[in-house]
Structure 1
Amino acid sequence: MSGFHERLLTLSSRRQQAFMAALVERLLPNYALYAQTAGHGDVHGLRAILDLVWERLAVQGAKIDFERQAEKLAGLEPPGDDDSFGARRALEAVVALSALLDTLQGEAPDAVLEVSRTSKGGVRAFIELTEGEENGQRLAALVREHPLMKEENAFQDAVLEAAEEGVLDRDALKALRRLGRNEGVSNLGLSAEA
């Protein structure tokens, strides 16, 4: 396991949740683009659930029924028979938010790693799709060196550093959320109104 993953696992659960929420913020434009182009999904529903997560992080005693939110979230998944690239990227946003909700409902010790890998996996799939390299070794090197993957790694490093530092108060959470929103640009370098 890399030092990055070990650092993620040593965060308190609240700090892990803040890390995951920032990554989900950055996945949201992918979902929004899918909803706009395919006519499936509800980006406002997804945004509302994520907003409740941020509220819970900011207000420790906030009474929010995350089991109910998880049920709502399940209804926002792309149709199971849609195997398009956009549907898979939209599903990543739903899966990442679902893992985050799992941690708010109880134990989900590996959720933070799942969300990190989900975001990186979407970038890898995008690079594989756009670069079309057949050779496995060359493709692995291409993915590793690709500007989008370098940006993804740098982004996750920045979010982790922000989650590790100081008191996780309202201002720190706002800064993390802003970082996650990434000026509306997703991990794939795409933007949509979300």
Structure 2
Amino acid sequence: MSDANGGFRPRLRALDRRQGLAFMAALAERLRPNYLLYAEASEQGDPAALRVIHDLIWEALLVKEARIDFERQAEKLAEMEPPAEDESFGARRALEAVMALAACLDSLRGEAPEAALEVSELSRSGVQAFIELTEGEEDAQRLAALIRQHPLMDDEYDFQAAVLEAVEAPLDRGALKELRRLGRNGGVSNLGLTLD
């Protein structure tokens, strides 16, 4: 990510744990349609259970004294991963959605100081993989240029910058609801895909 916008990575690293969690939760919202599409196409996974875990993460952000067994949620989440032998494009993108939520749970357990940066890169690498798949460019230099200039990558940068800006502001109940709406992105994933 370019550092023209005030040093994106240093700003991401400077977030406190709650801000970082909010950033990841919003990015995970935008990854969720990829999981839903995979589950629908493959009849694998559990979108409803994934939603429940995501709702608990938002609840932990909203309610300081929320009593949630994050160890148990992490175990449940691990069961929602696509099968390891499924190396399809859809399975990889579904796995990214699961990994983003796993990073949120790790953060809630206090185990992941770099988690926000990892989820940022996870979302961006999914977009890159999608561009590589759909553009089919053999030449590495041309492909790199194509990825940098691709509208989906522009959209990814803009989205992450907007989320970062939102979490740097005070995160009261209203701001968190707005952040969640931003993350849902009208039901369109980071790959520009939607269930419709």
TM normalised by structure 1 equals: 0.97
- Choose from 5, 15, 37 the match for 2:19: 15
One-letter amino acid of the counterpart of residue 178, structure 1: R
2:190 corresponds in structure 1 to 187
Alpha-carbon shift at residue 192 of structure 1 (Å): 1.8
One-letter amino acid of the counterpart of residue 103, structure 2: A
SS state at 1:134 partner: coil
2:28 corresponds in structure 1 to 24
- Choose from 172, 175, 191 the match for 2:175: 172
1:60 corresponds in structure 2 to 64
1:105 corresponds in structure 2 to 109
- For residues 74-85 of structure 1, what are the structure 2 equivalents within 5 Å? 74-85=78-89
**How far apart, CA to CA, are the structure 2 residues paired with 1:45 and 1:192?**
18
One-letter amino acid of the counterpart of residue 155, structure 1: F
Q: Do residues 161 (structure 1) and 172 (structure 2) align?
A: no
- Choose from 33, 37, 60 the match for 1:33: 37
- Calculate the aligned-residue CA RMSD, in Å: 1.0
**How far apart, CA to CA, are the structure 2 residues paired with 1:78 and 1:156?**
26
One-letter amino acid of the counterpart of residue 40, structure 1: Q
One-letter amino acid of the counterpart of residue 179, structure 1: L
Alpha-carbon shift at residue 107 of structure 1 (Å): 2.6
**How far apart, CA to CA, are the structure 2 residues paired with 1:80 and 1:110?**
25
Q: What is the aligned residue count?
A: 192
Q: Do residues 121 (structure 1) and 125 (structure 2) align?
A: yes
Alpha-carbon shift at residue 106 of structure 1 (Å): 1.4
TM normalised by structure 2 equals: 0.96
**How far apart, CA to CA, are the structure 2 residues paired with 1:146 and 1:171?**
33
**How far apart, CA to CA, are the structure 2 residues paired with 1:142 and 1:152?**
14
**How far apart, CA to CA, are the structure 2 residues paired with 1:88 and 1:82?**
8
**How far apart, CA to CA, are the structure 1 residues paired with 2:143 and 2:60?**
41
SS state at 1:48 partner: helix
One-letter amino acid of the counterpart of residue 120, structure 1: R
One-letter amino acid of the counterpart of residue 192, structure 1: L
**How far apart, CA to CA, are the structure 2 residues paired with 1:37 and 1:49?**
22
SS state at 1:17 partner: helix
**How far apart, CA to CA, are the structure 2 residues paired with 1:5 and 1:99?**
17
Runs of 4+ in 1 over 6 A off after TM superposition: none
**How far apart, CA to CA, are the structure 1 residues paired with 2:190 and 2:43?**
22
- For residues 87-102 of structure 1, what are the structure 2 equivalents within 5 Å? 87-102=91-106
